[in-house]
Structure 1
Amino acid sequence: MALSLFGAVESGIIYAIMALGVYLTFRVLDFPDLTVDGSFVTGAGVAAVSIVSGVPPVLATIFAIIAGFIAGCITGLLHTKGKINALLSGILMMIALYSINLRIMDKPTVSLSSEETLFSQLRGIWPEGIDSFLNNLWNSIGLGRAPATWIIVAFMIVVALAIKFLTDYFLKTEVGLALRATGDNKRMIRSLSANTDNLIILGVGISNAMVALSGALIAQIGGFADVQMGIGMIVIGLASVIIGEALFGKKTIAIATIAVIGGAIVYRIVVTLALRVEFLETGDMKLITAFIVIVALVAPKVLQGQREKKRRLQKRAALVELKEEA
């Protein structure tokens, strides 16, 4: 049980990078970008094919980020220059990417099981003494078989936090503030001579670069890239954003981005626990995801409605008391 939760945290941190990209488009830019389902596979496919071709894993991951950025920019161009509805432009790019990803990979699945990846290189530099200490500590507190991925989790925490802080910094720069203003009031920021078209293209490009990075890391940790692995990624990203905001708040950019990371981890833990229920199977994962999103969307509104009802009742009771005293 503890080992499966450890794995959920591990994958949750990687998916958090994708969720940060979704947060950038849906919350900051107010752009419903469905390119995510395609660009996630693009990142995985480009990284996998590059590694199989002999490219160093770090460089292959950078290629994946660039490919995701280009895919996002094309979506932005379809919307801004092609005057296509934002939702439709994302759908069109997602459909196009399915064929593009097949072209990149040349087959439905690319295996990395016998290749050196970013994570296999990390395991090679992990000191055995530290590994033994952590394993003994894990076993001493009765959590069963120790995980073999301490270095991966540590590395992914560093990467996720680095991207979080870079996102925070970027959104406070002049360009970042203009990007946020574009999402809040496009007409207003345009009246200040800002080029909203370029800002949208840049924002959607950066978002999909993050998504592609997440896909590249998932492919390397899982040992394969599959053309179908991106299905439902947009829902997972939205679930992470919504859960994070509901649990941790969204008062500032810094709080919102750390909430997204926390939401992604909580989401993976909830899914892992749900799949351990006897009557649920692995094939029910999409149903579980949809249920989690529905609960995350409905629960805050129900709670807010109850608070407002309680406040009205208290106000009414106070007025009655004042009348009685008068």
Structure 2
Amino acid sequence: MLQILLGAISLGLIWAILTIGVYITFRILDIADMTVEGSIAMGAAIAATSISNGMSPYMATFLALLGGMAAGFVTGFLHTKLKIPALLAGILTMISLYSINLLIMGKANLSLLRMNTVYTPLENLGLSSTNAVMLFAFLSVLIISGIIYWFFGTELGCAIRATGNNSQMARAQGINTNNMITLGLVISNGLVALCGALIAQSQSFADVQMGIGSIVIGLASVIIGEVIFGKRNFLNCLISLVLGAITYRIIIALVLKMGMPANDLKLFTAITVAIALSLPVFKSYLRPIKRSIKGGDL
């Protein structure tokens, strides 16, 4: 049981990087970006192909980050310059990335067995593969969260937040909202692709279909984190995102342990997200009931 929990935590820490990326578009920019499902697979494809060709796993991971940023830029360009709705722009990029990822890998999946990854140095120190993944993912999340917290406190980061909060007011203040939207999408998909690269190296293979449902997983982690751990300020939000991703993975691990078929996981995730997103509605229904009960007690 302990091993299952450790595996869930290590995987949750990796997926926390994607969760932060999804948060940037979903909460800060108020955009449902479907590019995520293509950029996570793109990150895995770039990292796996580069490592297979003898490149350093660290450089391969960095290239995956750049690939995801390029995908985000394409979506931003389609949305801001060609005036394609954000949802449709993300879908178009996601569809195109499926073919691009096949071209990158040359086939549907690519194995990384017996190849060096970013986790190999930690494993050489005597750590188990699970502990190596957990430590590297924890350090990565810590660094990324620190950079994101610093960046969104700068003038440029505040401009992105203002664009998502009220684009008309942001334009009145002289902010180029199109550039801010594109920059937000670039950062978001860069993080998503980085997550894909780390996942591919942890599971020792990359698959062109590994991104299916990733946007729902990211949203589930965001909602769970916000509902359970709160969102009082931006730092608290970042911590909640990480804890939400870990909590989601622990829930999935426990559900599988209880005997749920793996084929039902996506349905379970979709229902979880739907319930979490509907909580404000349920609370609005319960509020008059609570008032009537209190009035009756008085």
Measured against the shorter chain, the TM-score band is over 0.9
Q: Which amino acid aligns with 1:233?
A: S
SS in 1 for 2:5: helix
Aligned counterparts, 1:116-265, within 5 A: 116-124=116-124, 126=125, 128=126, 148-265=129-246
1:294 aligns with 2:274: yes
2:114 aligned with 1:114: yes
SS in 2 for 1:240: helix
Larger Rg: 1
Comparing 34-43 with 186-195, greater Cα deviation is found at 186-195
1: CA distance, partners of 2:167 / 2:283: 32
Q: TM-score, normalised by structure 1?
A: 0.88
Contact 1:26–1:32 (Cα < 8 Å) also in 2: yes
Distance in 2, Cα, partners of 1:301 & 1:252: 23
Question: 1:276 aligned to 2:257?
Answer: yes
Q: Does the CA contact (< 8 Å) of 1:43 and 1:214 recur in 2?
A: yes
- Distance apart, 1:25 and its partner CA: 0.3
Question: Residue 157 of structure 1 aligns to a residue in which SS?
Answer: helix
Equivalent of 1:311 in 287, 291, 296: 291
In the TM superposition, residue 233 of structure 1 has moved relative to its aligned partner by 0.3
Structure 1 unmatched runs, 5+ = 132-146, 322-326
Aligned residue identity for 1:225 = A
Q: CA deviation at 1:155?
A: 1.9
Q: Which residue number in structure 2 is paired with residue 78 of structure 1?
A: 78
Deviations 1:216-264 (A, max 9, x none): 0000010000001010000000000001000011121111111111111
Three-state SS of the structure 1 residue aligned to 2:110 is strand
CA distance in 1 between partners of 2:172 and 2:79 (Å): 20
Conserved 8 A contact 2:72-2:189: yes
Q: Which runs of 5+ in 2 are unaligned?
A: none
Deviates further, 112-121 or 206-215: 112-121
Deviates most, 99-108 or 290-299: 290-299
Q: Retained in 1: the 8 A contact 2:119–2:136?
A: no
Tell me the secondary structure at the aligned position of residue 152 of structure 2. helix
Which residue number corresponds to residue 12 of structure 1? 12
Partner of 2:93: 93
Identity in percent? 48
Aligned partners of 1:246 and 1:300 also within 8 Å: no
Name the aligned partner's letter for residue 36 of structure 2. Answer: V
The SS at the match of 1:110 is: strand
- Alpha-carbon shift at residue 283 of structure 1 (Å): 1.2
| CA drift at 1:317 | 4.9
CA distance in 2, matches of 1:308, 1:254: 33
Code of the residue aligned with 1:239 in structure 2: it is A
How many residues end up aligned between the 2 structures? 298
User: What is the root-mean-square deviation in Å for CA atoms of aligned residues?
Assistant: 1.5
TM-score of the superposition, structure 2-length normalised? 0.96
Q: Is the 1:274–1:288 contact (alpha carbons within 8 Å) kept by the matching residues of 2?
A: no
Once the two structures are overlaid, the 10-residue window that deviates more, 300-309 or 240-249, is 300-309
Q: CA deviation at 1:154?
A: 1.8
Report deviation, 1:311: 3.3
Q: Would the aligned equivalents of 2:10 and 2:131 in 1 still touch at CA under 8 Å?
A: no
Give, as a single letter, the amino acid of the residue that structure 1 aligns with 2:146.
Answer: F
Q: Please, which moves more after superposition, 215-224 or 166-175?
A: 166-175
Q: Which residue of 2 aligns with 1:136?
A: none
Give the Cα separation in 1 of the matches to 2:3 and 2:95.
Answer: 37
The CA deviation string for residues 106-135 of structure 1, in whole angstroms up to 9 with x for no partner, is 1101110021111122211x2x4xx5xxxx
8 A contact 2:8–2:246 mirrored in 1: yes
